Homo-oligomer: A and B are copies of this chain.
Amino acid sequence: MTQAIGTATDTIAAIHAGTSTVEAWHTSCFDRITKREPEVRAWASLRQEGALCEARALDRANPSTKPLAGMPLGVKDVILTRDLPTEYNSPIYQGFVPNMDAACVALLRAAGAIPIGKTETVEFAAAVRLAPTHNPLNLAHTPGGSSSGSAAAVADGHVPVALGTQTGGSVIRPASFCGICAIKPTWSRISREGIKMYAPSLDTLGWFARSVDDLSLVYDSLVPDPALPLDAPEPGQLRIAICHTPFPDCADLATRRGLARVGALLEACGVSVSTLDLPPEFDGIDDSARVVMRAEGRAAFLPEYRTDYADLNDHFRALVENVEGIGDDDLRRAYDHAAQCRARFDMIASDYDAVLTYSVPGEAPRGLSNNGSAAFNSLWTLLHVPCVTVPVMQGTSGLPVGLTVTGPRFADRAVMAVARVVHAAVAAEEREAIVAL
């Protein structure tokens, strides 16, 4: 395994110990990109020269003062970066280079990360113009969206970490399709300043990595609380609830069986595993998420509608024009339904160390024209709860399928700690066996 596809945690330890360099890290990433990018197409733009220059400067200074030690970072192209274009995969913003960083980029730079490029995204992280990115595990399949390039770049070893955003399922879904880890933290925990808004009640920064420890490392640089190693709970003391959501039939048979098999493996490790059925008040939670997204999206895309109508495609025009006819009462009901379910889910979930559920209905669809379904993501995004996906099984055609660990709002660290246990409980050989058993 080359350095480029190891974990950030390991490489940073080596750089801090003086046994590797930031420049070597970047060089290995760009080597990988050079080799793979023509097929994978994860990147909207790159700054190889600038990144290598910063890497060498950090090596000359002292990378051990920086927790992220020059870590090469991919940034979804809906997040402002002052040294790279921010184009949203929209013709309206071609060539636009903002002169400011989004809050998340500023924070990761401060911690020593070096943005090396912008990753391909679905138009405005919303719809219609999909990313040109292929699933690196099978180029004939989608990597999922809307954070398509970030997921593919991390999965393919171009970068150890990349930023994404989730309004429906735009982080958890592509991570699952690409066989990597990702987190969508609790809503409001991390500043979204400088991230293109779509639905402010839903929009959440997230990121991709190849281990839960790497997710945690980045988390520590984005929140005000002190950096802490994740807890390492004893499996024998863990209580995990399996939740099939209100729409279990959306999952294909292999995935449903896989979830059951992972539950059995966890039990074999000593974890107490039970089943959590969401009460009837959660019925229609997917519809509430849809209403909030569409109604808030009206406001989000109104400026482009008014100033660049010709370059705004029909989907966004229809959104602004509210062709669905979503009324104020619909939005009010959706807000209040979401709020009621948030409080209720926190209460229900507090009986467990974490909740295990689907990340996706199954493997990445074939072709690039279908990003897959967000059925198993939108409800958690609406509930504002932290979600971590870990790759723990394979589908019938050999592509990975992740499972989501979630919990009450603000239980981000606890959820990551349990996700690490789940990830470890299913050893790599086992993952390949968990398929349509």
- Distance between A88 CB and nearest chain B CB, rounded to angstroms: 12
Q: Which of B100, B191, B222, B339 contacts A339 (CB 8 A)?
A: B339
A193 nearest CB neighbor, chain B only: B197
Q: Which of B96, B300, B305, B339 contacts A340 (CB 8 A)?
A: B339
Contacting pair A191 B197 (CB below 8 A): yes
A331 CB–B CB distance under 8 Å? yes
Q: Which of B96, B107, B408 contacts A302 (CB 8 A)?
A: B107
Q: Mark A324-341, 1 if CB is under 8 A from B, else 0.
A: 000010011001100110
A298 nearest CB neighbor, chain B only: B224
Contacting pair A106 B303 (CB below 8 A): yes
User: With A224-B299, A303-B110 in contact, do A410 and B192 touch (Cβ < 8 Å)?
Assistant: no
Contacting pair B196 A193 (CB below 8 A): yes
Q: Which of A50-99 contact B (CB under 8 A)?
A: 96-99
Contacting pair B336 A342 (CB below 8 A): yes
Contacting pair A302 B103 (CB below 8 A): yes
A331 nearest CB neighbor, chain B only: B410
A267 CB–B CB distance under 8 Å? no
Give the number of times this chain occurs in the complex, counting copies: 2
Q: Which of B190, B303, B342 contacts A193 (CB 8 A)?
A: B303
Contacting pair B300 A193 (CB below 8 A): yes
A190 nearest CB neighbor, chain B only: B299
Residues in chain B near residue A339, CB distance under 8 A: 335-336, 339-340, 342-343
User: With A106-B307, A192-B197, A196-B193 in contact, do A346 and B320 touch (Cβ < 8 Å)?
Assistant: no
Residues in chain B near residue A320, CB distance under 8 A: 224
Residues in chain B near residue A306, CB distance under 8 A: 106-107, 110-111
CA distance A305 to B305 in the complex (A): 36
Contacting pair A410 B224 (CB below 8 A): no
- Distance between A180 CB and nearest chain B CB, rounded to angstroms: 26
CA distance A294 to B303 in the complex (A): 30
Q: Which of A279-330 contact B (CB under 8 A)?
A: 295-296, 298-300, 302-303, 305-307, 320-322, 328
Q: Could you tell me which A residues sit within 8 Å of B by CB distance? A: 96-100, 103, 106-107, 109-111, 188-193, 196-197, 200-201, 222-224, 295-296, 298-300, 302-303, 305-307, 320-322, 328, 331-332, 335-336, 339-340, 342-343, 346, 408-410
